[in-house]
Structure 1
Amino acid sequence: MSPPVFRFAPSPNGYLHLGHALSALLNADLARKAGGRLLLRIEDIDRTRCKPEYEQAIYDDLAWLGIAWEKPVRRQSEHFDAYRDALAKLQALDLVYASFESRGEIAELVTARGDGWPRDPDGAPIYPGGRDAIGETERRTRINAGEPYALRLDMAAAIARAGHPMWSETGRGPDGETGEIAARPQDWGDIILARKDVPTSYHLSVVVDDALQGVTHIVRGQDLFWSTSVHRLLQSLLGFPVPVYRHHRLVLDAAGRKLSKSTQATALRALRGEGATPADIRTMVGLPEP
């Protein structure tokens, strides 16, 4: 039997903080205890916000924490062809359509529909358009004319094909969910799979990467718990294997909010500069010594 495969997959768009430390250390601890492998993936599809200095800082911080990972590191920006191939499979199933509204236009559409318009699990308004808004001939004409566009998953059609898949949760969701979880991809609406200038999105690339890298155990924060609904749907549509999921608690600030990279005081490099040790970091995030 092959050893289990874990992964830590940060984006180099800022410095790692205590929340990242918890996730990275937990993945490393679980991989070691299971006799498994630990992969590091750099999720850098956002080329405007991702910087080489942040990527180097990731390596420095993880090494300082005593975490070892397999090489070479996978950078998403080097694998756009793999995401294009997955997108083409979904297009061949007639599950993808182009939309042309700007963010401002979408906001206006949502406002026009009133305060009761539904929102996704992240709190963003569900896309208020749909596949039937314009015909395919007009879509092709506008794409050929060079208009900006997003490629969206026709969620209703995707669910009709794949159903509502399940996943095995060995951690806990935000409300204590655990065990066999029924995915709710419909809560996300017609998600974006790619854009004119970027042939992928977070949801598509993470699913493709996990499959191609043979990841068997996905350990990440509870803020991504309901994103798993979308990931399980895409896995089913693309015929990918299903990992085991473990969502862990978040590290919160004094106001009870999830840490973000904009909170400079929690950056690992800042804590290191103030004299913190790797053992201190484990204590701060509530992990025992390995």
Structure 2
Amino acid sequence: MNLTKSFHKTRIAPTPSGFLHLGNAFSFILTTVLARKTGASILLRIDDMDQARAQDEYIRDIFDLLEFLELPWDEGPRNLKEFREKFSQVHRLSIYQEMLQQLVSQGKIFACNCSRSQLQQSAPDGNYPGTCIAAGYALNSPDMNWRLHTNGNASFPLHCLETNTITATLPPNMNHFVVRKKDGMPAYQLASVADDIHFGIDLIVRGLDLRPSSIAQRYLSNQLPPNIFQEAIFFHHDLLNDEKGEKLSKSAGSTSIQYLRKNGKKKEDIYRLLAKLTGLPEKEIHNWQTFGEAFFANEG
């Protein structure tokens, strides 16, 4: 893996939908290590577009985890109050709306009124067949998702640290993906791209399970005027599994950092537990610097 390239900025971008777990910590640590190795500054961006799930306790948990693990960040909120007042995604709705209007003006959007149950029946594999394209529903009709017209045969480069540049095509389950939800709010894929362009992000670290999102977002960026996202480089890391080999999730409370701390785990214990789960020498690891040195020496 070539870590000699320099970058401008990366981001730690959690979604406050539950208490953060070891897998989140793993991703944040790798982001920090790569940023410091490549000269990138670190933005803390909390993706709270789903306001119903973005509870204060989950947002506080993000700050608690970063401070507990002594992970630095250079830009973004320092606490819940500052986040709510200045950095919530609700303050950037005009940016998302502008991007949507760019796509509308180019004829790249269509309206879709399919319900989840209808989609499960017509596309159980998640491969949306374009059901509503021919219907030509007006975009200002109520209760409509806005979807992006996509070409599943189009190929384009995706720049990845772990594989170098690959030629990508949209995964079938990303055909005509949603860019605006029925409630009028921007969907995740669009908001994420808009934020990355707005903040000047050129290095994105995320789990391997999000590679389809990386491809969809890269496709979306190609539909826009020239922008930094078109040249962004990704690092997709392996997912962290628990000791039973199962993927970690926010619903599995026993792997949340909050739970582990309440049961007496200290910072060094968390780093050593992460080392154990990733096959690194536990005794040598006690902070993000030593974890990073061991991890990327192993990646070699």
- TM-score norm. by structure 1 comes to 0.84
Residue in structure 2 matched with residue 40 of structure 1 by the alignment: 44
Identity %: 32
Residue in structure 1 matched with residue 120 of structure 2 by the alignment: 107
User: Which among 246, 249, 253 is matched to residue 264 of structure 1?
Assistant: 253
Report Cα offsets for 1:4-57 as digits up to 9, x if no partner: 311110011101100000011111122222332111101011111111111011
Please give the secondary structure, in 2, of the residue aligned with 1:247.
Answer: strand
Please give the secondary structure, in 1, of the residue aligned with 2:223.
Answer: helix
User: Which among 35, 51, 58 is matched to residue 54 of structure 1?
Assistant: 58
Residue in structure 2 matched with residue 126 of structure 1 by the alignment: 127
| 1:200 paired to 2:170 | no
Asked which structure has the greater RCO (Cα within 8 Å, sep 6+), the reply is 1
Q: CA deviation at 1:84?
A: 0.9
Is the contact made by 1:130 and 1:190 (CA closer than 8 Å) also made in structure 2?
no
User: Which among 167, 170, 176 is matched to residue 158 of structure 2?
Assistant: 167
Is the contact made by 2:111 and 2:133 (CA closer than 8 Å) also made in structure 1?
no
Q: Give me the whole-angstrom Cα distance separating, in 2, the residues matched to 1:260 and 1:45.
A: 20
Q: Give me the whole-angstrom Cα distance separating, in 2, the residues matched to 1:27 and 1:80.
A: 26
Q: CA deviation at 1:103?
A: 0.8
Is the contact made by 2:45 and 2:76 (CA closer than 8 Å) also made in structure 1?
no
| 1:285 paired to 2:289 | no
User: Which among 187, 195, 200 is matched to residue 209 of structure 1?
Assistant: 195
The letter for the 1-side match of 2:144 is Y
Please give the secondary structure, in 2, of the residue aligned with 1:193.
Answer: strand
Q: Give me the whole-angstrom Cα distance separating, in 2, the residues matched to 1:50 and 1:170.
A: 31
Is the contact made by 1:220 and 1:248 (CA closer than 8 Å) also made in structure 2?
yes
Within 5 Å, which residues of 2 pair with 1:240-251? 240-241=227-228, 242-251=231-240
Please give the secondary structure, in 2, of the residue aligned with 1:166.
Answer: strand
Please give the secondary structure, in 1, of the residue aligned with 2:123.
Answer: helix
Q: CA deviation at 1:170?
A: 0.9
Q: Give me the whole-angstrom Cα distance separating, in 2, the residues matched to 1:37 and 1:151.
A: 34
Residue in structure 2 matched with residue 149 of structure 1 by the alignment: 144
Is the contact made by 1:152 and 1:193 (CA closer than 8 Å) also made in structure 2?
yes
How many residues end up aligned between the 2 structures?
A: 262
Q: Give me the whole-angstrom Cα distance separating, in 2, the residues matched to 1:106 and 1:196.
A: 15
Report Cα offsets for 1:53-102 as digits up to 9, x if no partner: 11011111111110121343342232111111111111111110000111
Q: Give me the whole-angstrom Cα distance separating, in 2, the residues matched to 1:50 and 1:274.
A: 25
Q: Give me the whole-angstrom Cα distance separating, in 1, the residues matched to 2:157 and 2:64.
A: 37
